[in-house]
Amino acid sequence: MKKILVINSGSSSIKFQLIKMPGEIVIAAGLVERIGLDNSAIHYKSKKMNISEQVKIANHEEGLKRIAALLMDTEKGAIANIEEIDAIGHRVVHGGKDFADTIVIDKDVKATIKRLFSLAPLHNPHNYTGIEVAEQVFPNATQIAVFDTAFHQTLPERAYRYAIPNKLLDENYIRVYGFHGTSHKYVAEKAQDFISKKKSKVITVHLGNGCSITAIKNGKSIDHSLGFAPVNGLIMGTRSGDIDQSIIFYMVNTLGYSLNDVSELLHKKSGMLGLTGYSDLREIEEAAANGNQQCQLALEMNAYRIKKYIGAYAAAMNGLDVIVFTAGIGENSSVLRRMVCQDMDYLGIELENYKNNVRSSENRIISKESSKVLVLVIPTNEELEIAKQSYQLLV
């Protein structure tokens, strides 16, 4: 029996779970959200305590230290001392060409993760911070990295290559790597519980502050919206998604932006934030409902982009059996799910509105019985998937 603390540092949040394996028993869990904003908050649940409080959390390091303090708190905590933690499973976004599997973290692994900062500037630095803080707080625990890019190693060459000179792949390893792999893998496997046939064509739609969509044929990732770095594809909280690359040249050569300025803009000032002034979809939906036309248009653009990818991936797989919505927005936004699925009857997608409007933490069907394509909401559990892979490495 092993106690594994899973740390999942996102671009603006930290999810954590302390899980007893292999029994998959969650001892404590929580979320630090809206990091760096005035309304940041921490949520924590264990057998002893269930708390939610709004507290200013300036950065990921501060958030991780608060998590460690809660876990070991004499009144609220879930462990008596740090020796109870056998391993820390870290979600790491970008493994580049170096990591296709889960691995024990050492100095060389850390150096490579740090070298890949430029490929995932909103994530790898925070993942690295999580590792550094965990090494200080839990010095005797085995530190393990689980990479988002690993699940997408099955992409065929025609999907992962870019139409650029071959040497950029051969010498510089520029290709599609893909992200959110632990989430897409987890929900795709859960979707099989709803499918009678073993061979299936599934599209998983991961919608959070970061967003991605994956075509999964017979359990294998065959195409994916994020590429060399996690900024293209769908419209995200602060990231642009797909953009005409000539705009970058125009901004630099004509408008006087530096390359760093453009990177900052596309990663941190674009997406829903750039369109509306808000990065949190809950605020955008509320403003749209109150007549804010910019927010309404942003929602329409967001849904339209997702619909285009669904159509493309249905074509790539020559069919479609299941669509899965997951992650914070995918699981909770009935508005965006409805906008994505409406006027998709050509593909056999029929949403049942009353099912879609139900709030639930359960895996569920939200399509009509007559729908040729099954539409599911499956809450992702990247933490459990990371715990599973970490445990397999320990035993």
Active site residues: 148
59 annotated as belonging to a binding site for a ligand: no
Separation CA 367–CA 376 (nearest Å)? 7
- For residue 24, the 8-state DSSP code is T
269 annotated as belonging to a binding site for a ligand: no
381 annotated as belonging to a binding site for a ligand: no
- For residue 144, the 8-state DSSP code is E
Q: Where does 25-59 have alpha helices with state H?
A: none
- Give me the amino acid identity at 250: Y
Separation CA 299–CA 275 (nearest Å)? 10
206 annotated as belonging to a binding site for a ligand: yes
Pairing of strands 2-9, 87-92: parallel
DSSP 274-339: HHHS---HHHHHHHHHTT-HHHHHHHHHHHHHHHHHHHHHHHHHTS--EEEEEHHHHHH-HHHHHH
331 annotated as belonging to a binding site for a ligand: yes
34 annotated as belonging to a binding site for a ligand: no
Residue whose C-alpha is closest to residue 236's, from 247, 249, 225 = 225
Which distant-in-sequence residues (6+ apart) come within 8 Å of 354 by Cβ?
none
208 annotated as belonging to a binding site for a ligand: yes
Separation CA 178–CA 216 (nearest Å)? 13
336 annotated as belonging to a binding site for a ligand: no
356 annotated as belonging to a binding site for a ligand: no
Quick one: CA torsion of 357, 363, 367, 371, rounded to 10 degrees? Answer: 180
Structural contact between residues 61 and 129, judged by C-beta atoms closer than 8 angstroms: yes
281 annotated as belonging to a binding site for a ligand: yes
Structural contact between residues 337 and 351, judged by C-beta atoms closer than 8 angstroms: yes
330 annotated as belonging to a binding site for a ligand: yes
91 annotated as belonging to a binding site for a ligand: yes
Which distant-in-sequence residues (6+ apart) come within 8 Å of 257 by Cβ?
251, 265
Residue in the structure block whose two tokens are 């005409």: 244
- Give me the amino acid identity at 84: E
207 annotated as belonging to a binding site for a ligand: yes
209 annotated as belonging to a binding site for a ligand: yes
Structural contact between residues 111 and 363, judged by C-beta atoms closer than 8 angstroms: no
Phi and psi dihedrals of 68, rounded to 5? -60, -40
Residue ranges with strand state E in 328-373: 364-365
292 annotated as belonging to a binding site for a ligand: no
Of the CA atoms within 13 Å of residue 222, those in its CB half-sphere come to: 17
Residue ranges of the annotated binding site for substrate are 91
Q: What residue numbers does the annotated binding site cover?
A: 8, 15, 91, 206-210, 280-282, 328-332, 382
Question: Residues annotated in the binding site for ATP, as ranges?
Answer: 15, 206-210, 280-282, 328-332
